[in-house]
Structure 1
Amino acid sequence: MLYQLSYRGSGMGRIIDAPSCSVKKNRINLSTKIKLMSKNILIGFLASTGVVAAAPLFFPYSIFKIDVESKLSMLSNTKAQIGEISFNYSPQPEFILSNVVLDTSDTASIGQISIPLSTYNILNLGDSIRDITLAKAQFSRAFAIDLPNRLLPKAGSGLKIGRINLADTSVKLEKGLIGPVDGQLRFKADGSIDDLLITSDQGRAELQVQPAEGDAFKVQLNAKGWQLPFAYPVQFEYLKLIGTANREGIEIADIRADLYGGLVTGNAVLKWDQGWNLAGQLFSKNIQAEPFIKVFSNVTRASGRMNADAQFRYQAANYNTLFKQPQISGRFIIQDGMLSNFDLVTPLKSQSPSVQSRGGQTNFNTLSGAIAISHQSVQLRQLSLDAGKFRSRGDIVIRDNKISGNIASQLAAGAVTASNQLQVSGALDAPELRSGGAYRPSNEAAPTTETVQPETQPASSGE
């Protein structure tokens, strides 16, 4: 039934729907109740937080220390001991577990575990917890490998972990440490580990580790603008390694890298069950030779585009000394470049013995050879330099920053042919070329400066 109310006002009649007015009034009341309820929840949340934060004023946290240790023991599947429990107010409210030991200090020791008093952790109290931070932690290698099994949710535990942040975390080896590193341990919805993401060098390198079948792990390293943390600081524009790890080591099935304008591919195997052994092979294409060689020698030796392949092996009793004794062998070819500090053409101008010190340059179309690197020396064998009418062949050894070797050269310019033997000696940064004099069949005239000028250039002031 429609009820109508009318009244006289300023000459205009109004009709009011009485039930409609009631609905509007109910809506206003409902909105007010919702606002009031939200306000009460917020006040209750703040009050609860305040009570928890003020708890140390009334009773020590050590009262429930045993319960926390029991819960931590159940989560980690080992005996947990907590040195002290405290509460931080700033920069965010959080519980602090200090000097935590799992099983023994050799198995796992954690300087500090921070549990934030966040909205998520309060609303999911007893069911789920996330954004826990472990700082200054050290795990044994066996404990770290077994983490997926140790943190696997157990029937009746009633608590799932969402995310664990790692700060200054290390893995203890038989001798030395791996780390410290920062990272994040992420979990799936069922509470099992999803992956471990480790970051280093201000985020330029990321290592992702995911549990696989059995005791295996999938491993992937991604790096941009990253420098090798070894003896020779090779700079990668981009690096990607994909492999599988287990208790014995890591098999890196795919290596791909953008390096000095070129591409590097390969594979490797790292074993640590009986000492440390790293072996593999690399293939490079179109690398700029000058910046690459400069990593190994402050004085640039050659420019041009380089293709190469190499086999490498490193062996050591522990990780810290693994890269101190390299065993590398391979072949290379550099195209359309220039050899610095080696003027191989000038000695062919004279039939008299001569000694040429550091300086000069030799252009070439191709420079190729075999290389063998050990911790004591670098050997360059079967060197072949071709520059049209000029050619050189030789062998060179670099040891203790000194260079030695022999080079045979020949220049054929029209009817003029000249050849000689050069003995290379001196320091690596200041080599000397000793010539017994050029040999010219039938006492041919010496090649003119105009003839050899296209194949050699004077040294710049920086050489």
Structure 2
Amino acid sequence: MAKNFLLGLAITGGIVASAPLIFPYSLFKTDIESKLSALTNTKASISEISFHYSPKPEFHLQNVILDQAEIAQIGTIAVPVTFNNLLNWQSNLRDVRLERANFSRTFALELPKRLQPQGAEGLRIAKVDLLQTTVQLDKQQVGPVDGMLRFKADGRIDDLVVTTADGLAELQVQPADGEQFKVQFNAKGWTLPLGHPVKFEYLKLIGLANAQGIDIADIRADLYNGLVTGNAKLDWSNGWQLAGQLFGKNIQAEPLIQVFSPITRSSGRLNAEANFRYQGSGYSDLFKTPQINARFVLVDGMLSNFDLVTPLKSQSPTVQSRGGQTNFNTLSGNLAVNGSAVRLSGVTLDAGKFRSRGEILIRDGKLAGNVASQLAAGAITVSNQLQVSGALGAPELRSGGAYRPGTVVPNNGESKPASESASDIQ
């Protein structure tokens, strides 16, 4: 038994070593093109066929074009020289590899139809590995990415799995009814590639795609110890548009806000709901002009680099430049993002005896707004109005002076008893 096994290995090794002599592959070029054309339901042409011993014995089909170079072009199709592939090269191939393939969007969407088996006979491939594959989208392209195309026993596509180079994200695509595709995206420890490094502990998107776009019915993510759910729709039939809504619960606010504003930020637990819309001529500029409307509530936190309490201690005009902090029980409001402008409106801070309400506009990192604050301690109530200016990293709070009942604050900022002020007016 062992002798027969060793003899089989020796014969297989001899076949592999002498493959270029046994198979004068240049004479089979027309036949291989015919097989490839039948497999892809298109016209295939091969520039060159070569054989490589290292790192493992393989046939290489070089510069393969399907229909036209603008539709589908493959740098190399590698077919390993294995016992199975030698015996079944006309009917069943395994571990085929495509390198540097570039497909048009139309061709990629038509793959399930193009690879539909034509009858019981014909070439079958169990799995195709994709290396450095790109898909052309108008003037932009997606990729290059690596992936794996798997087939069912009857030759139909089972699924396409694409992974990022670091292995942290995976996209699975399966043919569905008609010309639709089931799409699922999974990621762990993944950073959002949109200019701001928001990092998800876990992210899952489930949707249905077609030639016009993707309808993402379910978004679920673990983000900074909190939960994000929602839905979205991506449409590329007329330019690119992405719209949807998100709901966040119990998110740690500080690491999230610090991504956008490292110095002036807030801690606490964040609950929020947001509607968003992005629009661009193509994928490359889709996220340049965000439109976001959100309602948020932070609980048990602290504003850093934004001290609203200290100005209440002086009845004279003051200018406070950056630094300090303000603790709160709740901080709530509305957030509107329109391109590079961020507007915070109806912002209410509640810290028990201390309360503030205001509106702030942030444009190109500059601040403009006002805040009204009040501190009530027993029978004593102190209030003031603040003008907010400066930069996001270095805000300035200007106060005309704190007001206490029984006094007025004239234009020069000096506090006087109410009786003196009345006589002066007379």
Higher Cα Rg, which structure: 1
* Structure 1 counterpart of 2:308, one-letter code: L
2:32 aligned residue: 68
Aligned equivalents of 1:170, 1:91: Cα separation in 2? 25
Residue 236 in structure 1 maps to residue 203 in structure 2: no
Match of 2:164 among 197, 200, 215: 200
Change (3 A) 1:408 1:35: closer
Matched, 1:143 2:110: no
1:269 aligns with 2:233: yes
Partner of 2:320: 356
Q: Identity of paired residues, percent? A: 63
Residues 31-84 of structure 1 deviation map (CA, whole Å, 9 limit, x = unaligned): xxx55544543333233222214458xx5x322211111111111111111111
1:315 to 279, 293, 318: 279
| Among 354, 370, 373, the residue aligned to 1:406 | 370
**C-alpha deviation, 1:189, in angstroms:** 1.0
- The two structures have a TM-score, normalised by structure 1, of 0.86
Matched-pair contact (CA < 8 Å) for 1:74–1:157: no
Query: 2 CA distance for matches of 1:37 and 1:346?
Result: 91
| Residue of structure 1 aligned with 2:98, choices 134, 144, 151 | 134
Taking structure 2 as the reference length, what is the TM-score of the superposition?
A: 0.93
CA distance in 2, matches of 1:384, 1:100: 64
Structure 1: which 5+ runs fail to align?
1-33, 445-463
Cα shift at 1:118: 1.8
Q: 1:271 is aligned with what amino acid?
A: D
Q: 1:368 maps to which residue?
A: 332
Task: Work out whether residues 78 and 103 of structure 1, in 8 Å CA contact, stay in contact via their aligned partners in 2.
Answer: yes
Task: Name the CA distance, whole Å, in 2 between partners of 1:343 and 1:48.
Answer: 80
Contact 2:183–2:207 at 8 Å: present in 1 too? yes
Runs of 5+ in structure 2 lacking a partner? 409-426
Tell me what 2:350 maps to.
386
DSSP-derived class of the 1:323 partner? coil
> Which whole-Å deviations, capped at 9, do the CAs of 1:403-443 have from their partners, x for residues lacking one?
11000000001111110000000111101000000111113
Task: Give SS of 2:234's match.
Answer: strand
Counterpart in the other structure of 1:97: 61
Matched, 1:41 2:8: yes
Q: 2:396 aligns with which of 413, 432, 452?
A: 432
Q: How many residues align?
A: 408
Whole-Å separation in 1 of the counterparts to 2:157 and 2:211: 18
Separation in structure 2 between the aligned mates of residue 36 and residue 132 of structure 1, nearest angstrom: 31
SS of corresponding position for 2:287? helix
* Amino acid aligned to 2:205: L
In the alignment, is the contact (CA less than 8 A) between 1:290 and 1:300 conserved in 2?
Answer: no
Q: State the superposition RMSD in angstroms.
A: 1.4
Can you list the C-alpha shifts for 1:442-462, whole angstroms capped at 9, x where unaligned?
A: 139xxxxxxxxxxxxxxxxxx
Distance in 2 separating the partners of 1:41 and 1:358: 80
After superposition, give the CA deviation of every residue in 1:211-261 in whole Å (9 maximum; x if it has no partner): 000000000001000001112111000000000001111000000000001
Do 2:16 and 2:82's aligned partners in 1 also have CA atoms closer than 8 Å? Answer: no
1:294 alignment partner, one of 231, 234, 258: 258
Quick one: which of 133, 137, 143 aligns to 1:169? Answer: 133
Query: Residue 231 of structure 1 contacts residue 323 of structure 1 at CA under 8 Å; is this kept in 2?
Result: no
Aligned to 2:418: none
Distance in 1 (CA, whole Å) between partners of 2:3 and 2:169 is 50
Instruction: Specify whether residues 290 and 300 from structure 1 end up closer, same or farther in structure 2 by C-alpha distance, changes over 3 A only.
Output: farther
- 2:417 maps to none
Name the counterpart of 1:227: 191
Aligned partners of 2:264 and 2:393 also within 8 Å: no
